[in-house]
């Protein structure tokens, strides 16, 4: 940039030399006017006007489509109760199978854990009790044959007027009794699946999974065996039984939402609902049992699995709530990105109160109705804070 000092040293003397005598004053004044004009011109063109800041942050169209936005909502705070429990078959969806006779076990074609269908053979037992029933069935059939022949004879005699009507009625009554006895024996064989050869066939009363089996091939079951030898359960719906400590009893109600986590599937949450409270305390553990009904697609949950139960309920307190994934953690502090438009996005420090089920409640830093970035917020945070 040029200034006054850059002019030649003899510029003024040359000008004065060209205007001698009295005219030198007017020439000197003209020279000053010229120098002033030069100074004014160089002052006006000394620095260029700065351009707008090219580094100002703004979301591109592509990034604007990628980010997620959520509105801060005022919501009741949810609390969590952690309980220990186990998975159990639903009592109303299982069947216990008892042997109706004693005897030698000839075959057990199913194993513990097998899926069976209704009517499928579970075991075959050869029994002397079945032999007695077979004899009674044979006797009942013989009694029917005898009663039928007796009635034919009585009807012939009655037709010849050699028999009274009362005797004919008695013969008919004897035949009806014989038929009733035979039907009863045939129904017994049908209901209990008794076969020829003194065999009793145990069949599955429902379709499901064998969850208990207390019978083996070649053993002898005693007559009057009172314990079930099979338990079959439908496992498309199961229960989670959990123990509630005395300090939490007042907060547990029927209908509470529950989340079940097992050791077998630590990354999967099974949702359920508290559907029954057993209002009795176990004197040994000082706990009250509750029952949670669970849908079990794919039969992932097995009876006797250890389960961790989380019950959630709403408190009276309300606070601003946002998705837990929207919070940025750095150096022990918590931040969110507050969004106004693509040119106005700010970093805001917040104080979380509680996080439950993917939602975080905030005590300081946000107000209901504000909009925050809930997806790709870390990219926006880095872009704004690393400039």
| DSSP code for 119 | T
CA distance 241 to 85: 5
CA distance 35 to 28: 11
Q: Sign of torsion, CA 277 280 281 284?
A: negative
Q: What is the 3-state secondary structure (H, E, C) of 23-69?
A: HHHHHHHHHHHHHHHHHHHHHHCCCCCCCCCCCCCCCCHHHHHHCEE
Beta-bridged to residue 271, according to DSSP, are 259
- The CA dihedral of 71, 72, 74, 76, to the nearest 10 degrees, is 100
Nearest residue to 102 via CA among 243, 253, 260, 219: 219
Q: Is 322 exposed, middle or buried (0-12, 13-18, 19+ CB in 10 A)?
A: buried
* DSSP labels, 191-259: HTTEETTTEEEEE-SSSEEEEEE---TT-EEPTT--S-SEEEE--SEEEEEEEEEGGGGGG--TT-EEE
Please give the model's pTM, rounded to 2 decimal places: 0.59
- What's residue 196's pLDDT? 79
Nearest residue to 69 via CA among 308, 324, 326: 326
Here the tokens at position 86 are 């186990």
CA distance 15 to 13: 5
Could you read off the pLDDT tens digit of each residue along the chain, which spans 387 residues? 334 333 344 433 343 433 333 444 444 444 433 444 444 444 444 445 444 444 567 888 888 888 999 999 999 998 889 999 999 999 989 999 999 889 999 999 999 999 999 999 999 999 988 888 889 989 999 999 999 999 999 999 988 888 888 998 999 999 999 999 999 988 888 888 888 788 899 999 999 999 999 999 999 999 888 899 999 999 999 999 999 999 999 989 999 999 999 999 999 999 999 999 999 999 999 999 999 999 998 999 999 999 999 998 888 889 999 999 999 999 899 999 999 998 999 999 999 998 887 899 999 999 999 999 999 999 889 888 775
Only one residue has tokens 């007695």, namely 132
CB neighbourhood size of 292 (10 A): 27
CA distance 269 to 259: 6
- What's residue 56's pLDDT? 65
CA distance 195 to 201: 7
Specify the 3-state DSSP secondary structure of 189: helix
What's the half-sphere exposure (Cβ side, CA atoms, 13 Å) at 316?
Answer: 1
- What's residue 44's pLDDT? 46
- Our measurement of the distance from residue 363's CA atom to the centroid of its chain's CA atoms, rounded to an integer in Å, reads 29
- What's residue 197's pLDDT? 84
Query: How distant, in Å, are the alpha carbons of 187, 200, 201, 338 from that of 107?
Result: 24, 11, 9, 72
- What's residue 46's pLDDT? 46
Only one residue has tokens 């703004």, namely 58
Query: How distant, in Å, are the alpha carbons of 101, 181, 201 from that of 143?
Result: 26, 9, 27
Rg of the chain's alpha carbons, rounded to an integer?
A: 49
- The packing angle between helices 128-159 and 165-191, to 10°, is 160
């Amino acid at each position: 940039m040029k200034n006054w000092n850059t002019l030649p040293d003899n510029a003024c003397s040359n000008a004065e030399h060209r205007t001698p005598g009295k005219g030198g004053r007017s020439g000197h004044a003209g020279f000053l006017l010229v120098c002033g004009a030069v100074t004014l011109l160089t002052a006006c063109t000394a620095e260029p006007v700065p351009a707008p800041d090219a580094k100002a942050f703004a979301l591109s169209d592509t990034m604007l489509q990628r980010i997620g936005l959520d509105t801060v909502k005022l919501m009741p705070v949810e609390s969590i109760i952690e309980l220990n429990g186990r998975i159990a078959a639903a009592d109303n969806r299982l069947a216990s199978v008892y042997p109706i006779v004693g005897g030698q076990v000839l075959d057990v074609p199913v194993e513990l854990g097998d899926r069976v269908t209704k009517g499928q053979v579970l075991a075959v037992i050869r029994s002397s009790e079945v032999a007695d029933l077979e004899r009674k069935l044979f006797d009942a059939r013989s009694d029917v044959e005898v009663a039928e022949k007796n009635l034919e004879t009585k009807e012939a005699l009655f037709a010849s007027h050699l028999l009274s009507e009362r005797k004919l009625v008695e013969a008919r009554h004897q035949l009806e009794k014989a038929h009733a006895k035979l039907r009863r024996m045939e129904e017994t064989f049908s209901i209990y699946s008794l076969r020829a050869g003194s065999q009793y066939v145990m069949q599955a009363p429902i379709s499901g999974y064998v969850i208990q089996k207390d019978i083996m091939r070649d053993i002898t079951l005693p007559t009057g065996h009172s314990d079930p030898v099979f338990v079959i359960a439908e496992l498309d719906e199961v229960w989670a039984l959990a123990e509630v400590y005395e300090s939490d009893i007042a907060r547990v109600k029927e209908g509470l939402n529950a989340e079940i986590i097992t050791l077998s599937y630590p990354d999967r949450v099974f949702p359920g609902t508290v559907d029954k409270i057993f209002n009795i305390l176990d004197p040994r553990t000082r706990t009250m049992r509750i029952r949670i009904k669970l849908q079990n697609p794919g039969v992932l949950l097995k009876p006797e699995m250890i389960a961790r139960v989380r019950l959630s309920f709403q408190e009276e307190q309300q606070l601003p709530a946002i998705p837990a994934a929207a919070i940025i953690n750095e150096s022990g502090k918590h931040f969110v990105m507050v969004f106004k438009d693509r040119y106005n996005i700010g970093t805001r420090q917040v104080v979380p109160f509680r996080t439950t089920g993917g939602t975080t409640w905030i005590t300081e830093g946000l107000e209901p109705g504000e909009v925050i970035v809930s997806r790709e917020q870390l990219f926006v945070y880095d872009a704004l804070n690393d400039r």
